[in-house]
Structure 1
Amino acid sequence: MVMEGLGVAKYHDALSASTWHLLRMSEYKAPNAAEKTVRYGSHQDTNLLSVVCQHQVEGLEMQTRDGEWVLVKPSPTSLVVMAGNALRAWTNGRLHAPFHRITVAGDITRYSAMLFSVPHYKVEVPDELVDDEHPLRFRPHDNNDFVRFCVSEEGGRHEDKLKAYCGV
């Protein structure tokens, strides 16, 4: 749907064939306190898309573009879908990869399931997404190299790791 909306659906099959998926289950222990405790700090995902299902205990917070942290409250039958930095780069910045974190409070442990779509190819902006109104924002890069940069000492010094790694 994203590719159709951007007019680049012709790339779907090739990208899909070179994308792998990771399902991860997470447990965030309850702090047994009324105050919120950060259990997983602020970050942007490095992958294409993340799909999150949280069960009964809230805790996913996203940062708005003006810096405010808001609690994500999906319905019990909804999933949260977030763009990661690989999709941000591939779409030439047209999609936003939100900073997010996990906080918990109270005495109930939080569980969630996350499905990550991870590119196994060179992330390169299609020519159709570069024009005078949208100049090239990110150089082509291998996503595995970008992930290694993100967890390196150098990468840790940058808030916007994608821009630091391959920004134009």
Structure 2
Amino acid sequence: MQELMNMIHRMIIESLGLEDHYDSHMNSLAYSIRFSNYYKDTLDGRINLALPSHKDPNYISIICPHNVEGLEVKAVDGQWMQTIPMTNSFTVLVGEAFKAWTNGRLYAPTHRVKLNSGIEKRYAVVFSTIPNITNDIICAPKELIDEQHPLLFKPFKYYDYVKFRFSDEGERVDDALKTYCGV
């Protein structure tokens, strides 16, 4: 999984023309794995949610859904799209740290887990990249800032942002990243 995650980071960095930043970016990463067990226990109107809508604060999440439906991603137009798990496949989501690092060039989607009537539980393995604890400053490379792409987010410490993001104040705002460090 780490090799796959590194390949995804490399593809993104190269697609942005930032090959010179690859080594320093990769050296600033830590890896996380989480085993999730979702139950129907939250109601959002008439929709049974196992995990309410949210954005991931990290760089990237790779989700292995074990062929069980339920993950939905909100499109830019506001419509919820159900992901369809395929055998031996993963779902890759960009997080807010990568959105800030790329000066908004990557989109961090809102997503949720909704369990249909016939499903009571959903298991998933989530592998993520996060900034390492000793190098957690998120700052867009200067190459991604120009007249057409003005700076969107001030440099920030990731773990300070995560504290804000999951605070009462951070939970109340529509866009925690923009509220915390938006220009």
* TM-score normalised by length of structure 1: 0.93
1:40 counterpart residue number: 51
> Do residues 119 (structure 1) and 131 (structure 2) align?
yes
Q: Deviation at 1:108?
A: 4.6
Tell me the percent identity: 41
CA contact (8 A) 1:137 1:167 kept: yes
Q: Which amino acid aligns with 1:10?
A: D
* CA–CA distance in structure 2, aligned partners of residues 30 and 65 of structure 1: 26
* CA–CA distance in structure 1, aligned partners of residues 86 and 15 of structure 2: 26
> Do residues 132 (structure 1) and 142 (structure 2) align?
no
Q: Which amino acid aligns with 1:68?
A: Q
Q: Deviation at 1:29?
A: 2.8
Which of 129, 140, 162 is 2:177 aligned to? 162
Aligned residues: CA RMSD: 1.4
Q: Which amino acid aligns with 1:145?
A: D
CA contact (8 A) 1:61 1:100 kept: yes
Please list the CA deviations of residues 40-68 of structure 1 after superposition, one character each: whole Å capped at 9, or x if unmatched. Answer: 10100000000001012201000011111
Structure with the bigger percentage of strand: 1
Please list the CA deviations of residues 62-91 of structure 1 after superposition, one character each: whole Å capped at 9, or x if unmatched. Answer: 001111111011321211111100000000
Unpaired runs of at least 5, structure 1: none
* CA–CA distance in structure 2, aligned partners of residues 38 and 85 of structure 1: 22
CA contact (8 A) 2:61 2:128 kept: yes
- Bigger relative contact order (CA 8 A; separation at least 6): 1
After superposing on structure 2, the runs of 4+ consecutive aligned residues of structure 1 that deviate more than 6 Å are none
* TM-score normalised by length of structure 2: 0.86
What is the total number of aligned residue pairs between the two structures?
165
* CA–CA distance in structure 1, aligned partners of residues 165 and 69 of structure 2: 27
Unpaired runs of at least 5, structure 2: 1-10
